[in-house]
Structures are given as C-alpha cells and as structure tokens.
Amino acid sequence: MKRLILILLCLATACPVAADSISKDDARKKVASIEATDAKVLSLVPTLQPVVDLVEVDCKRRVPELAKSPTFCVCAAAVTMELWRSGIDPAMKNRIISYATSPANVEDFLKYEGPELYRPLCELAEPE
C-alpha cells in the first residue's frame, strides 16, 4: 500500500520514477513543493482553510506518535489536499470546488482522508 500511495503521489506531482527508491532528501523537497503549492491555493481560496485544519486535527488524533512532530500533520494536510486536487479521485475535485464555492459541512471530508494518503511521504520527509 505504501508503494502504491507513493507512486500515485509521484504521478500527480512529478517525483522520481521509482517511488520505492525515493530518498529522504527527495521526499523533503517534494513536501516543500507541495506545501508551497498548498499555501498558494489557500491564499487564492481561503474558504478551504477549514478543510486543511480538519485534516491536521484528524492526523493528530489518528497518528499520535508522529503528530508529536510540528511538521508531520502540516505535511499530512498539504499532501492530502494535493492528492485531492490531482484528480486521483475524480469526484474529489468536484467536492472541493463545491465546498470552496459554497462551504457546507467540513466534517464530510473525513470520509475521504486518512493516514494511508499522507503517511508514506510525510513520514519519510520527517526531520531526524
């Protein structure tokens, strides 16, 4: 599963071809790029901030051992949003657009996220 998520993330965001051989340095660069893109998107569409906040809070609840790091759940939220925007789940883009234009129940997004989306890359990118 970890390899599949890394491959999907790499396809969506231009990682090295062999996801199972991504280095810690490459993971950190990828996360920095994803977080920069996420910040840019949030500056343009601030109504998505509650979704990002929700993923961060859920990360802290579901992965408490890694959430002790100040960077892990920030990464989790950015990677989740990147995957959702990438079109991996075709319906997710429409859900995000719909929410951004008419914010509704943000908790609905919890059905579509979890550690399986962000843990492989964010764990690899963690500082030592």
pTM: 0.80
Q: What is the pLDDT of residue 42?
A: 94
Which of 66-75, 95-104, 111-120 has maximum average pLDDT?
Answer: 66-75
Contact 59, 115 (CB under 8 A): yes
**77 vs 22, residue with greater confidence:** 77
Q: What does the pLDDT look like over 78-99, one tens digit per residue?
A: 999 999 888 888 888 888 888 8
Q: Which two tokens stand for residue 77?
A: 């939220």
Find tokens 């995957």 and name the residue: 83
Give the residue numbers spanning the domain of 67.
Answer: 2-125
- Tell me how far apart the alpha carbons of residues 109 and 60 are, in angstroms, rounded to a whole number: 16
Residue with tokens 């990147």: 82
Number of domains in the chain: 1
| Nearest CA among 21, 34, 17, 18 for reference residue 117 | 34
